[in-house]
Structure 1
Amino acid sequence: MHDTARGIVELARPGNCVAAAVLTGTGAFVAGIDAAVGPTAVAMVVTAVAVAAGNAINDYFDREIDAINRPDRPIPRGAVSPRGALAVSAGWFALAVALAALLPPLSIVIAAVNLVALVTYTTVFKGTPGLGNVLVSYLVGSTFLFGGAAVGRPTAVVVLALLAGLSTFVREVIKDVEDIAGDRKEGLSTLPIAIGERRALWLAAVALGVAVAVSPVPYLTGTFGRIYLVGVAAADAVMLFACYESFDDPATAQRRFKYGTFLATVAFVAGRAVVLV
């Protein structure tokens, strides 16, 4: 029983849920509406619950691949049955939909599109070269848009959504290189399998180069203060090094890349806070 409860929590990937919720909160904060605490909180909870649902259904459909790549996950190790994971995912999806109904119309539209995207990613696009990576990148970038929409200013965070999407694409490609053995055995055609590992990583490097080039824009437009430049420069450096490292050690690079995205989020918040002070 204890392992089952633990397995259900692990299905959600709490760290990912919190990180996604923080991005939504960041989007709302950057949009500049200080008084909209209620909508921001609801949007953050919706994001966290939706990510939990998406992770659970992903584990359901990936259970055979995870038996090779991630045998310690709840379904492969027997903590949660496949049917149980599907039921948990459905419950979380239902909760996310119910909470999203409390938000403005555009937020509801974004939430609806994202919930469909979460399901179709796992069932249709995950094994499609490049398209699965692009879809996940959109989902991460849209967390900023969702936060901005929750407080009525989605256009204020479009650049941040683009930066988040590009950096996520890079991390997803590196992760596909890391998982190539299990994906190939299951007959999936991910980007590294379709075009080769090094070509996929070079494509990721180009995407990261675009993100790094665009990263000063929020400062140049006056959205963020100078401290943002310092923070985003550190984040860019970490992500660039991780991208370089991915050619030799994709597993370590993928984990290091997460630190870079965390630093970027801190830079967004600190940069906006300085402007508001």
Structure 2
Amino acid sequence: MTAVETGRGLLELTRPVNAVAASVLTFIGAFVAGGAIEAPIAVTTAVAATGLAVGAGNAINDYFDREIDRVNRPDRAIPRGAVSPRGALVFSGLLFAGAVVLAITLPPLAIGIATVNLLALVAYTEVFKGLPGLGNALVAYLVGSTFLFGAAAVDAAGDIGPAVVLFVLAGIATLTREIIKDVEDIEGDRKEELNTLPIAIGERRALAIAAGLLVTAVVASPLPYLEGNFGIAYLLLVVPADAVMLVAAYESFENPTVGQSHLKYGMFLAALSFIVGRVALEVQFQPPGL
């Protein structure tokens, strides 16, 4: 393998799209807390720490999952030989170290969240992934907690309350997607003797649980507007986002790959609604002439 191919493989290990998406969620958490402008350095640090931590978690996940990926994802960096297992492990450690160096400069609550999350990222594959539902729940927590981390990073500059609501909504939506992904990966997981939720209770029952969770999140999605945390623009975007996610859940019964992919699009649209909804609220209450 050439240096270019290895470099591309290392980048792939981080799942750059996922790392950037998680960083954006951290920014949104700070933004809805009202501290993005008041504490720009803290926000930038939290965003960078999130990106490094997620990249590290994805890399170490690929290290532990390398045998499963030979069945489910043979095109990934380790199975195809672009990166050695040892190289992936060292790379993950460097990214984790960078995330820690950045995180320790933040307020105590943010450091606490970062500590829990970093330990969870390391333990996920070896401890939680093969436990029915628990691995899914851990991933859901990690995604939702990016909102909390961003809000905690600005500390007294903002209000963490709105981020808590987003944490719950994002966590439920992510749990839905993770269950659907387990249905998609059921063949490789069986060969590795993992006891994921679809294997433990059956694919249709797992998908039914996922759909029920998503309906709960959709029903609860107007809460940020009703509580006065977001403006009306939030509803104008979150309603179509809800529709996309509900359709995706329905599609997953026939094609889990398509369903979980479309669900991701709906989640991104929902994340956008958080930003737009907060901006709309700020504009609504801004004094005339300012």
**2:20 counterpart (18, 26, 30):** 18
TM-score by length of 2: 0.95
Whether 1:256 aligns to 2:258 is no
1:165 aligns with 2:168: no
Pair 1:205-2:211 in alignment:
yes
Partner residue in 1 for 2:181 = 175
Q: In structure 2, the residue corresponding to 1:74 is in which secondary structure?
A: coil
Deviations 1:220-268 (A, max 9, x none): 0110011100111011000000000000000011111110001001100
Give the length in aligned residue pairs.
Answer: 277
User: What is the letter of the counterpart of residue 91 of structure 2?
Assistant: V
Counterpart of 2:10, as a letter, is I
The residue number in structure 2 matching 1:83 is 86
Partner in structure 2 of residue 247 of structure 1: 253
Taking only aligned residues, the RMSD between alpha carbons, in angstroms, comes to 0.6
Q: Does 1:64 align with 2:71?
A: no
| Aligned match of 2:45 | 42
Q: Which amino acid letter does the alignment assign opposite residue 9 of structure 1?
A: L
Q: Is the 1:146–1:154 contact (alpha carbons within 8 Å) kept by the matching residues of 2?
A: no
Could you tell me how far apart the structure 1 residues matched to 2:70 and 2:51 are?
A: 26
Decide whether the 8 Å contact of 2:162 with 2:224 is kept in 1. no
SS in 1 for 2:86: helix
Task: Show structure 1 runs of 5+ residues with no match.
Answer: none
Task: State the SS of the aligned residue for 2:78.
Answer: helix
Letter in 1 for 2:56: A
Q: Give the Cα separation in 2 of the matches to 1:246 and 1:118.
A: 27
1:35 deviates by: 1.4
Task: Give the Å deviation of 1:156.
Answer: 3.0
Moved more, 28-37 or 151-160: 151-160
How far the C-alpha of 1:155 sits from its partner, in A, is: 2.8
Aligned mates of 1:156, 1:65 — CA distance in 2: 39
Q: Which runs of 4+ in 1 moved over 4 A?
A: none
Deviation at 1:206, TM superposition (A): 1.0
Which of 97, 122, 132 in structure 2 is aligned with 1:94?
Answer: 97
TM-score, normalised to structure 1's length?
A: 0.99
Stretch moving more, 28-37 or 77-86: 28-37
8 Å Cα contact 1:170/1:205 also seen in 2: yes
Percent of residue pairs identical: 63
Amino acid at match of 1:135: L
- In structure 2, what is the equivalent of residue 27 of structure 1? 29
Contact 1:56 1:85 in 2 (8 A): yes
Q: Deviations over 1:157-185 (max 9, x none)?
A: 11000000000000000100000000001
DSSP 3-state at the match of 1:103: coil
Q: Which amino acid aligns with 2:122?
A: V
Bigger CA radius of gyration:
2
SS in 2 for 1:76: coil
Say whether residues 1:55 and 2:58 are aligned partners. yes
CA contact (8 A) 1:4 1:79 kept: yes
